[in-house]
């Protein structure tokens, strides 16, 4: 068990990992916002990491984000620094707090909201979906498809299902494919562009 494994250890320190935001990410997000797209983040990352990245990318004009948190007794919306706590009530209340805060829901909180609110409409009000499993990513996209046309960008195997369900699925590659791989993919000219130019070209198409 975890209790047995973590017994008799000597603390030596912390190891910090940093995954920097790609240089063209901010300009890509800025272009999407200017073109009146509604931006959302669906990730398997920790909710605090996701909220920080969303803030760094300026995904919206709203400064503070509330995370759906279970405190042992009840669910509530809470800011990362715990300076703001709002009870989780009904859909009408959710629409109200959405005007003042961005909202973040984790994979653990997703079934709770669906059961409590009795509707998937809440999905449209959330900015960040964190700690999502591949199946939950699919469920979010499917729910959004009922009202919107969706474009999903993903760069990992965990995104494949959601990419397939979106009206437009964009797989982001770290480098241009070569050899036999290149012949199976869309026009090579797209892969010779920067990521920002490639996204703009795909949006035009």
DSSP letter at 23 equals T
Interval 72-113: pLDDT, tens: 888 999 999 999 999 998 999 999 999 999 999 999 999 999
**Amino acid 189: pLDDT:** 45
> How far is 118 from 128, CA to CA, in rounded Å?
20
Distance CA 174, CA 88 (A): 40
Residue 200's pLDDT is 59
Angle at the Cα of 135 from the Cα atoms of 134 and 138, rounded to 5 degrees: 90
What span, in angstroms and rounded, lies between the C-alpha atoms of 138 and 159? 8
E strands, the chain, are 41-42, 65-70, 75-78, 85-87, 102-106, 128-130, 151-154, 168-171
Residues in the chain with pLDDT < 70?
174-205
Q: How many whole angstroms separate alpha carbon 99 and alpha carbon 62?
A: 9
Residue 149's pLDDT is 94
């Amino acid at each position: 068990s975890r209790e047995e494994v973590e017994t008799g250890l000597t603390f030596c320190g912390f190891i910090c990992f940093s995954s920097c935001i790609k240089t063209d990410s901010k300009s890509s997000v800025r272009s999407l916002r200017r073109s009146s797209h509604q931006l959302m983040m669906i990730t398997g990352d920790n909710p605090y990491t996701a909220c920080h990245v969303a803030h760094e990318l300026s995904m919206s004009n709203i400064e503070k984000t509330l995370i759906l948190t279970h405190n042992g007794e009840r669910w509530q919306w809470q800011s990362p620094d715990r300076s703001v706590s709002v009870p989780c009530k009904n859909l009408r209340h959710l629409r109200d707090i959405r005007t003042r805060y961005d909202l973040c829901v984790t994979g653990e909180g997703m079934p709770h909201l669906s059961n409590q609110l009795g509707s998937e409409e809440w999905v449209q009000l959330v900015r960040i979906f964190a700690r999502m499993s591949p199946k939950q990513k699919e469920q979010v996209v499917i729910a959004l498809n009922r009202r919107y046309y969706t474009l999903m960008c993903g760069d990992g195997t965990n995104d494949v299902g959601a990419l397939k369900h979106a009206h437009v699925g964009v797989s982001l590659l770290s480098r241009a494919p070569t050899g036999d791989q290149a012949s199976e993919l869309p026009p090579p000219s797209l892969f010779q562009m920067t990521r920002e130019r490639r996204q703009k070209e795909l949006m035009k198409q």
